[in-house]
Amino acid sequence: MRNRFVAGNWKMNLSDSESKSLAEKIASHSYTENTQVVLCTPFLYLKEVLEATSGNTKVAVGAQNCHEKEAGAYTGEVSAAQLASAGIPYVILGHSERRTYYKEDNALLKSKTDEALAQGLHVIFCCGEVLEEREANKQAQVVETQLQEALGHLSTDQMSKVVIAYEPVWAIGTGKTASAAQAQDMHEMIRNWVANQFGAEHAEQQIILYGGSCKPGNAAELFAQKDVDGGLIGGASLKAEDFIQIIEA
Ligand code: PEP
């Protein structure tokens, strides 16, 4: 049976003291044995959130991005090697905000994924279609291309360190959630892609998250779908009570 997995993407939110207090509240709760929680914080807060959550083995910490090179003259950037050296086990790659605002394409995300895995990080890899692509019924094709171009070359061993997050872009931060049936359809398609690439046995173990306006009120229905193993949560991960309710779901 696959573990349940809930990651919070704090984006560029919260002050230093708010981050610490949120992390402490989340870490003070106990979670069931098969649950993994990951708090993806701004770079600046990673170490203190790591410390604040160190007493709870179910809560890990992740970055929201990393550079594709190991080191060098890249002002303002943070490498996967630096994250690994600071004891940060996870990194989100391919979030739609990075794809849109920073023009990150599949080729760059392939390089970032390779570098993150080479440094021993686990990758939470985001994919998802924009509204026009959904309206043109091209969501499966778009997501498959994103996965194929960025992850298709990985070995099964490398893929076992990748969590896939399906995030329809039209549902992120908009209050519009994919219906449970829409989410299940896409997750099944993604699991089939994983099976074709990495084998049926690996596909059974592959963790696939849903993200996009997931809240305490809709999490249970989404997570009850056969191929939905948890969520990547934006807005609702900033309130401890909401986030814990989602994890409980
Ligand atoms: C996200 O940005 O990954 C996300 C799912 O955001 P929200 O939950 O706010 O839609």
Listed by start position, the domains of the chain span 4-248
pTM value is 0.98
User: Quick one: 4-248 is in which CATH superfamily?
Assistant: Aldolase class I (3.20.20.70)
Are 94 and 150 within 8 A, CB to CB? yes
> Over the stretch 36-84, which tens digit does the pLDDT of each residue have?
999 999 999 999 999 999 999 999 999 999 999 999 999 999 999 999 9
Above 90 in pLDDT, residue 5? yes
Above 90 in pLDDT, residue 202? yes
The answer for residues whose C-beta is within 8 angstroms of residue 13's C-beta and 6 or more apart is: 238
Query: How far, in Å, is the centroid of ligand 1 from the Cα of 18?
Result: 19
Query: How far, in Å, is the centroid of ligand 1 from the Cα of 224?
Result: 19
pLDDT of 213 reads 93
40 lines ligand 1 (CB under 6 A): no
> Over the stretch 150-198, which tens digit does the pLDDT of each residue have?
999 999 999 999 999 999 999 998 988 899 999 999 999 999 999 999 9
pLDDT of 79 reads 98
239 lines ligand 1 (CB under 6 A): no
212 lines ligand 1 (CB under 6 A): yes
Are 126 and 90 within 8 A, CB to CB? no
pLDDT of 175 reads 86
| DSSP assignments along 91-156, one per residue | EEE--HHHHHHS---HHHHHHHHHHHHHTT-EEEEEE---HHHHHTT-HHHHHHHHHHHHHTT--H
pLDDT of 198 reads 98
Query: How far, in Å, is the centroid of ligand 1 from the Cα of 168?
Result: 10
d(CA 45, CA 81): 17
Residue type, 137: N
Q: Is 32 strand, coil or helix?
A: coil
> Over the stretch 87-98, which tens digit does the pLDDT of each residue have?
999 999 999 999
Share of the chain above pLDDT 90, in %: 97
The residues annotated with a catalytic role in the active site are: 95, 167
237 lines ligand 1 (CB under 6 A): no
pLDDT of 173 reads 87
Above 90 in pLDDT, residue 145? yes
Mean pLDDT check: name the lowest of 117-121, 171-175, 209-213: 171-175
Over range 203-224, report the average pLDDT.
97
Over range 239-245, report the average pLDDT.
98
Q: Which of 95, 124, 169, 214 to mutate to test the pocket of ligand 1 (most atoms within 8 A of CB)?
A: 214
pLDDT of 177 reads 87
Are 89 and 61 within 8 A, CB to CB? yes
pLDDT of 222 reads 97
Around 176, how many Cα atoms within 13 Å sit in the side-chain half-sphere? 9
